[in-house]
Structure 1
Amino acid sequence: MKRRILSLCLFLGACSTATSVPTPIDNAPPKPKPTHEAKDETKPAPTPTPKPAQVTYATFADWRAAFVTKAVAQGFERTFVENILADVQPRAAIVQADSGQPEFSKPISAYVKNAVSNARVEGGRTRLSANPDVPAIEAKYGVPREVLGGIWGMESDFGRVQGDIDVVTAFATLAFDGRRRDWAETQLLTVLTIIKTGKATREELKGSWAGAMGQTQFLPENYLKLGQDGDGNGHVDIWKSDSDALASAANLLRKEGWRPGQAWAVEVTIPAGFDYYLSETETQNPVWWAEKGVVRADGGTWNESEKAAPAVLILPSGAKGPAFLALPNHYVIRKYNNSTAYALAVGLNADGMAGKGALKAPWPEEQPLSIAQRKGTQTALNAAGFNVGAVDGVIGVGTRKALREWQKANGRVADGYLSYELANELSAKTTGYTILGPSSQ
């Protein structure tokens, strides 16, 4: 989920863990195209069920009373819930962090260059080597220690920056705000279960503004379902126990489909004249990609398991930056935090801890894009018939897909990459003037 760790998590959309955090930056890998599509013409399309109107509460006390009633209906004692919430007040800073979007988005190249470092690699290697429980954790869950170290470093700087916000307050604030009420109330009910069953005390339940907790920043739902006792003391303590935090992260990755013996992604080289439209649109095995001239940059070979694995070509900085074949484990890492930048940072730090060399291709120098540039681009693409969906300023997989189609239709390199210059060009189509970025102000 830096370079304070938690501030980068804000850039990524929601700190850390995982599978339950909403508002992802990127989606799952494209699925292979079916050879045929079955149609059922006998059944009419179902009528969508209208969503109930969002309830608003005039005061925090009103929300609290309604939540207590809901918790009692779930089997909690009224006095217990009222006591937990008695001293809680909403925090404006949490609402601001949840709903705010930075004026300028950091390019992936800048993010990765900042997040991947020799200090982090050496720190992770040292901490992992010193922990006697790590070999058993690797053997039990099948996840390499280096990948766990990559997540550990990104999430909390190896336990140094875990967040100190009371998670009851965090989820109560988010629930009262209403934008993500159902999710926040579900997490808060889980917090009540954790406290009631004695798995952790109220004082222990500290985390980020988004409620992610401990050294590997687990949401309460994942702590309850996936938390593991890695040091064998009979208690799952992801705040103070390195082993518990690592075992819990390993369990999450295993449950999400980690494939032992396969890489997460491999840097590749692209031949001259390559059709960049294939990036993020084709899911094929490395043998297929090699026939297109896409080969490993390190000169190595794929093992037998990897040769048959589905792989997607990703170009985080477009045709002028490093290229990667992302294997299924890349997307498993993104179950932890659904962001290409995050998965790259975790994977590249993990590669460093494993003794692999640096990337062959350098990251380009990129300028950050303002929210006006991003929204202007999305508006222009929608107006031109290339659907990006909501104009939200988030350059995710939908916007990249639409941009790639626009590039192809207009004779451009169809890499789906929104450069500073292209953002200005497209934004100008809707505003009548060029939107200036930070370097020109």
Structure 2
Amino acid sequence: MKKLLSLLTVVSFSISTVTSTVSCMPKQPSTTKTSPLKIGLDIDKSQTIDTTSDPKNHFGFTNYFIVGDSLSDVNGLTTYVKDKFVVNTNLDQFIDFNLTLGGAYGFEDENGVYNSAFSNGKTTGYLLSEKLNFGGMRASNKYSKLVNSKEGYGKNYSVGGATAGKTPDLTTGLVINDFSTEEQARALVKQQKIGSNDLVFFEIGGNDMFSLIQNQDSENEKALVEYMNESIKSIRATLFTLLNNGIKNILFMGPPIMDIVPRYLNREEKQDIVDLGKEYEIKINKVVNEVKSYYPDSLFYTSLYEGENDFPTIIKGYGEYIDKEIENEYNSTSPFAETNVVEINGNTTFTFNELKAIDYKKYIDELKESSTFEKTKLNVTLKAQPSNVNQWNDLTERDQIMKSYFFTDVVHPTKFVHEYVSEIIKEMVLREFK
């Protein structure tokens, strides 16, 4: 049983930290040369569940869904891990497994229920659901099982670590390829009956950019070019899959300019990643223009790389937004949390490097040969920790301290930034999709 715990711990933590470790090179493109209007039409929709609502109560929209990564994830990664690696492998017969995000991650909702997120509160896309009167959102993925038809599936398909492009790497692919944005879109279409005026918030590109930068830094030009092309093809496939199956409104948000993200803050040469981001942005815009030639009124693209809502503008705007509400100096680029650790069953703590050293392939082989298990609990918590880990007594106190920070960690914004951006996104949605 101890070996099983080690196996699931490593798998879970590897998934949780995929945004920091993934380096992708595709094996094959996501789409063929068939007509773009045929993309996604092969999906079996015979078992879809209808959860559409009266548009009069939701600013004209009949339903709302999210496709994306950790910037939209609320219980997405933790649900996916349990659904794929525990429930769908029948390991839940032997183990009571739960993965949670804690420390500077996660929050309690109005009902006192704890939710895992790569922020200390609700994410932008999740907040938009509430602002459009659809209420809170449950997570869903291709492995999710229907509890009852009245409740339906969750409507937030975003998963922390998600990319547009897929990877042929056996270990990484086992984790992330099942929740690429194209796979998310296909799961959505397979599970949800599309209404007459549904809205999708689609945000992606950050993790793809991290992979591109890593390939660039390793001077692997072939991998860089191939992955960029694969990523763009997958974005194209995601958009056409949704629109070809009846989605009427998509707000698409791309990745930010990377030179001011804390992960690259101390990088000596930044122009190369700025230029790389520009190339990616140009290719995204070409896809957007192609899609709009078929669906001129159904897609709106907002760029975090450039334009009126680019990342520097958002960072500056948030600083002005909270200027009178904070006592300390505004930390626009310094992350609140500096390290990640894994806590197992509330006591044993590992760093990522310690977990990477575990030979979990050996445990997989032994697990296949084993036939007897004693059901036990395995609670794995991925924590984002600041240097002073004991500086708050409860989540309210933690959140007040974090209010002066833009970034929770080296990549993800704090809850207050999400709240600020959600207002911008709501205005954008109501303006563009009248």
TM-score (norm 1): 0.24
| TM-score normalized by the length of structure 2 | 0.25
Which structure features the higher share of strand residues? 2
Q: Which has the higher contact order (CA 8 A, sep 6+)?
A: 2
